[in-house]
Structure 1
Amino acid sequence: MRTGMNRLLRMSRCLCITIGSMIACLSNVSRLNAQTLTWLGALSGDAFSESKDVSAGMGVSAGCDVAVIGRSVDANNNWHAFLWRNGQMIDLGTLGGASYAWGISGDYRVIVGVSWLEGNQQYFAVGWFWECENQVCGYRIRNLGTLGGTGSWARAVSCDGTRIVGNALTSSQETHAFLWQNNAMQDLHPAGSSWSDAWNISPNGLAVVGAYRNESNQYRAFLWTEQNGTRDLGVPSGEGWVWSFATAVSDNQIAVGAAENNSTRMAFRWSSNEGMQVLPLPAGYTWADAYGVSADGTVIVGRARTPDWTPHAFRWTPAGGEDLNTTYAHLLTDGSHLSIARTISPDGRYITGWGFHAATGRTEAFVLDTQPVCGNGGDINCDGCVDDADVLLVLFAFGQEGTDLGRVDTDCNGIVEDADLLMVLFNFGRCSRCPL
């Protein structure tokens, strides 16, 4: 073993002399593996599905495990929350009526949403928590309660699963935004407001966004932090803007959402330095919404419409806006169409939403992997850390060639070689963690 490790060290010294040249080695590759689009199906053969959130391996574990949640119609024509993972869609169950999953933690052990009681007359915010009892593990649904009223709705959860946001009715039946943590529901309702809703929470759990109705009866996007309380994000500059609604927020508190004036609705990006900026649209598109943002605030996803009112899944980057149906047309040659991009993974790699799946002739949830399948940060065996086992996997596969080598081909150039070993060595000791 010592001889093998000495050989490994000698190889690593020969592969690149400096960090700078190592990075050059890693970046100067020709990627053979293309992006992938996966349609998720439905809970029953002739039903349809919609997805709301995605959880995926982070950092060095990018691409390890993708989980998508949402809702689908079951065999009895009822809406049920689902978890899609490893190619299978699982019915998460209900409180007796319908259910809908809205958010998922980074390790997919906490899923949040809403479920109705039998008869579908009363609904409550719920969490599906992965728990083990007597060596039997599974998701167990839990009613998260209310703020004294008769209903509630959970919309999102932090990466580590400890903070949940949504809305709940009070004893006077007003709808108030809430933050749930430590088994208790905290009212985030702004003073003087008659309605509020917390729509999302940043991956690190430090920022909450949504909308509230102010004293002038106008709907305004807000950002809440424990340190500063509620901040009204306003509307875009210019005449005619009447309301705004924030739907997602990054770890560095970049908020996105939609604002509306007398003639149209447009997606926006808000930052403390620049305020609320309308996201640009290419010619031929109008009426846009933003629904998701990457953890660093650089990639935004949502929907834009054409003049005939057809919805198109959209992505915005610093370079501008793009129709995902155009960018990934090579994945849609059967006539399928991506209607809405509902959310994006924190690292900006995975996009999920729903659209028309031509092969089944129905609306289905999808997950789009925008990077080559093989690309990763060195966690070859997907155990969350880059360690000895990952080094050995690359060494055992060293010299293999092909277009489907899997994660050992970290740079996706079709051969397991020096650069793949360097990726593991460069990230040795790193583990994937939710942002703090």
Structure 2
Amino acid sequence: MRHTRRTINVLAGVLLVTSAVHLPGAGTASASVQGCPVTTDKWEAVDLGVVGAALDINDRGQIAGWRKGASGESQAILWDKGKITEIGTLGGRESRAVALDEDGRVTGYSDTADRRTHGFVWHNGKLEDLGTLGGYAALPKDISQGTVIGETRVLKENGTRRGQAFVVRKGVRTDLDLTGGSEAEDINRSGQIAGTHRRTEGVGLPSDKQTQRAFLWKDGVVKDLGTLGGDWSEARGLNGRGQVVGESALGTDGVLQGGFVWSAESGMRRIEDGNGLARPAAINDSGVIVGLHSCETAYSTAYPSVWTDPGKAPARLPDPPGGVAKAVNAVNAKGEIVGMALYSGNQPHAVLWKPKPMN
């Protein structure tokens, strides 16, 4: 089960879209008059010591991510008990690790000697090439018990490009049967997959009309999760209980949007945003949500934040010393959160937020 938010990166010339425990009192910080939450004192931010970003963390405290090499290239790495292991590439210059499972298997993508983008799985020092998985570029998004899910980029006969959601289980690739293009974002230990698919809704639609919908997939059965009243929704995270978080349009114009949490029991509910914008990235089995929160509008500054109750205001995560927190990408069962902060010179640094001991 991955707990990430999306990052955007160019690797091998291809545009790539890459993204707890319940702590009592963590979400009790109330919003200010402007709708901006106060900074929580329940976590402390630690610079992990590399220029790059941390994208996932498992319950063992292992962290997957990337760091910038001497020549500016991105290098996939694994943190484990303070030790950094370079995962390497599939013959090219760059790679990124995007997710890992509880057994320490890491998935991500790498360029090759012929500048293609291939997916990979790394475990115990062995790097397995997954290829492009039927398209021109493979973008794994998550891994659980060795099963990899993600998106492969496909070039259609008419020259258009689209994504195709896939799952690779025991070496066998299966494309999710979804219309109009699709992305698989997250998988849990039960084999449920959350993602987004593009819906086909007739001829003559404006080219900018969004019709994508969040979905939950299990054993070939697709559940459309609906919207918060608008035309589109997108899934971002999934927990072991089958709860999904993401974003949705609030009205038919598709402009105003909000964060949501979906469950089979309650359907889709809006996450409290104080008249700002909630952009959830992940949810754990206790229902704790992490993501970004903009205080006023979609165009105002977004802060890494945590919700311990979707109906209450979020708490802002603290900045690391000398840096400004910019992204929150994952949270494990211990409440450890990983992400990224910007430092002097606009340099990204990998960051870990550690829960403070409770008195």
Asked whether the 8 Å contact 1:199–1:209 carries over to 2, the reply is yes
TM-score by length of 2: 0.67
- Local SS of the residue matching 1:126: strand
Name the residue aligned to 1:141: 173
2:217 is matched with which residue?
180
Query: Aligned to 1:163, which of 192, 197, 200?
Result: 192
Alignment pair present for 1:195 and 2:242: no
* 1:29 corresponds to: none
Question: Aligned partners of 1:99 and 1:55: how far apart in 2?
Answer: 19
- For the residues of structure 2 that align with 1:270 and 1:307, how far apart are their CA atoms? 29
Would you say the 8 A contact 1:159–1:205 is kept in 2? no
**Cα distance in structure 2, aligned partners of 1:282 and 1:82:** 32
Q: Secondary structure at the match of 1:37?
A: strand
Q: Does 1:312 align with 2:349?
A: yes
Highest relative contact order (Cα 8 Å, sep 6+), 1 or 2?
2
How far has the Cα of 1:275 moved from its partner? Answer: 3.3
What CA distance in whole angstroms lies between the structure 1 residues aligned with 2:244 and 2:283? 7
Alpha-carbon shift at residue 274 of structure 1 (Å): 4.9
How far did residue 269 of structure 1 move? 0.4
1:313–1:34 Cα change, 3 Å: closer
What is the CA distance between 1:258 and its match in structure 2? Answer: 0.8
> Which residue is equivalent to 2:161?
121
Contact map agreement 2:148 2:167 (CA 8 A) in 1: yes
- 1:213 maps to 249
TM-score (norm 1): 0.56
Q: Tell me, yes or no, if the aligned pair for 2:272 and 2:312 is still in contact at 8 Å.
A: no
Counterpart contact for 2:150–2:165, Cα < 8 Å: yes
Select 1:227's aligned residue among 262, 265, 276. 265
Q: Deviations over 1:265-292 (max 9, x none)?
A: 2101011175311111144322521110
Q: Distance in 2 between matches of 1:50 and 1:194?
A: 33
Residue in structure 2 matched with residue 248 of structure 1 by the alignment: 282
Are the equivalent residues in 2 in contact too, given 1:95–1:118 (CA < 8 A)?
A: no
How far residue 263 of structure 1 moved from its aligned partner, in angstroms, is 4.9
RMSD between aligned residues:
2.3
Partner of 1:56: 102
**Which residue number in structure 2 is paired with residue 97 of structure 1?**
136
Q: CA 1:318/1:35 → structure 2, altered by over 3 Å: closer, same or farther? A: closer
Q: Is the 8 A contact 1:156 1:166 kept in 2?
A: yes
Query: C-alpha distance in 1, partners of 2:306/2:151?
Result: 28
Task: Report the AA paired with residue 189 of structure 2.
Answer: C
Secondary structure of the 1:275 match is coil
Q: Distance in 2 between matches of 1:100 and 1:41?
A: 17
- Report deviation, 1:194: 2.3
Alignment partner for residue 36 of structure 1, among 57, 70, 83? Answer: 83
Aligned to 2:77: none
Kept after mapping to 2: 8 A contact 1:233/1:276: no
What is residue 292 of structure 2 aligned with on the other side? 258
Give, in angstroms, the shift of residue 311 of structure 1: 1.1
Greater share of residues in strand? 2
Q: In 2, are the aligned partners of 1:219 and 1:245 still within 8 Å (CA)?
A: no
Tell me what 1:286 maps to.
Answer: 324
Residue identity opposite 2:186 in structure 1: A
Q: How does 1:280-359 map to 2 (within 5 A)?
A: 280-296=318-334, 298-319=335-356
Gaps of 5+ in 1: 1-32, 58-65, 131-138, 321-436
- Specify the code of the residue in structure 2 equivalent to 1:186: K
Partners of 1:115 and 1:151 in 2: CA distance: 10
Paired residue secondary structure (2:93): coil
CA displacement 1:89-115 (0-9 Å, x = unmatched): 21113113211110111x21x210011
Q: 1:34 Cα deviation (Å)?
A: 5.9
Larger Rg: 1
Matched, 1:152 2:169: no
Q: Taking structure 1 as reference, are residues 34 and 217 closer, same or farther at Cα in structure 2, changes over 3 Å only? A: closer
8 Å contact kept, 1:208–1:223: yes
Q: How far has the Cα of 1:70 moved from its partner? A: 1.1
Contact 1:92/1:128 (CA < 8 Å) preserved in 2?
no
**Could you report, residue by residue, the CA deviation over 1:193-224 in whole angstroms, capped at 9, with x for unpaired residues?**
2221111111x242111111212733322111
Q: Which runs of 5+ in 2 are unaligned?
A: 1-79, 202-209
Query: The residue matched to 1:122 in structure 2 has which SS?
Result: strand
Q: Residue type of the partner of 1:99?
A: A
Matched residues in 2 for 1:196 and 1:271: separation? 22
**Number of the residue aligned with 1:81:** 119
Distance apart, 1:164 and its partner CA:
0.3
Contact 2:228 2:248 in 1 (8 A): no
Quote the sequence identity (%).
26
Tell whether the 8 Å contact from 2:320 to 2:341 is kept in structure 1 after alignment. Answer: no
Relative distance call for 1:229 and 1:34 in structure 2 (3 A) is closer
How many angstroms does 1:159 deviate by?
Answer: 2.0
Deviation of residue 118 (structure 1)?
A: 4.9
Contact persistence 2:166–2:173 (CA under 8 A): yes
One-letter identity of the residue aligned with 1:278 = R
Q: How many residues align?
A: 260
Note closer, same or farther for the CA distance 1:308–1:194 as it changes in structure 2 (3 Å cut). farther
- The aligned residue for residue 270 of structure 1 is 307
**AA at the equivalent of 1:198:** A
Distance across 1 between alignment mates of 2:353 and 2:143: 23
